[in-house]
Amino acid sequence: MALRYLKIRMFPYHQKNTDYLHSDHRKSEKHSKTMEKQENPGILNIDTSLYKTRISASFANRKSCQPADPHIITSFIPGTILDILVKTGQSVKKGDDLMILDAMKMQNVLRSSVDGRIKTIAVNKGDKVSKGFILLELELNLK
């Protein structure tokens, strides 16, 4: 017995959509009308190609991504603070080491992404932190 594979393809928005067909290729008006009622077609942009698709309520109401705040350093993974390499009030430059976070048996060195001064350090050596936990805060050097 030969196996048959179903090939699924998303059609770009600029191509004409086809009607729903029965297995004997008759148009299914009832199915089309039901889908029109249930569908709220939306447009997705994937690699500069537009696709017409159904958008779920959870997708439509999702929280959009916010750019990272450069003056707040957070934990990107749960772990333990092994060492804090800076002190409150210390000036740091972009790329300077701030602290070492041990996570999954790896020592991750957290570095400054901007020039600034250490405003507050919210953790101590040996603290266990969860993902997204605020570790320290920087005051940006505005020139």
The pLDDT tens digits of the residues spanning 24-55 come to 444 445 545 544 554 567 777 777 788 778 77
Does the pLDDT at position 68 exceed 70?
A: yes
Put simply, whether the predicted model's pTM sits higher than 0.85 gets the answer no
| Domain architecture of the chain: domains with CATH | 10-65 (no CATH), 72-140 (2.40.50.100)
The mean predicted confidence, pLDDT, of the chain is 77
**Mean pLDDT calculated for residue range 69-91:** 93
pLDDT classification of 23: cutoffs 50, 70, 90: very low
Query: What is the average pLDDT across 64-88?
Result: 91
DSSP 64-124: PP-PPPTTEEE-SS-EEEEEE---TT-EE-TT-EEEEEEETTEEEEEE-SS-EEEEEE---
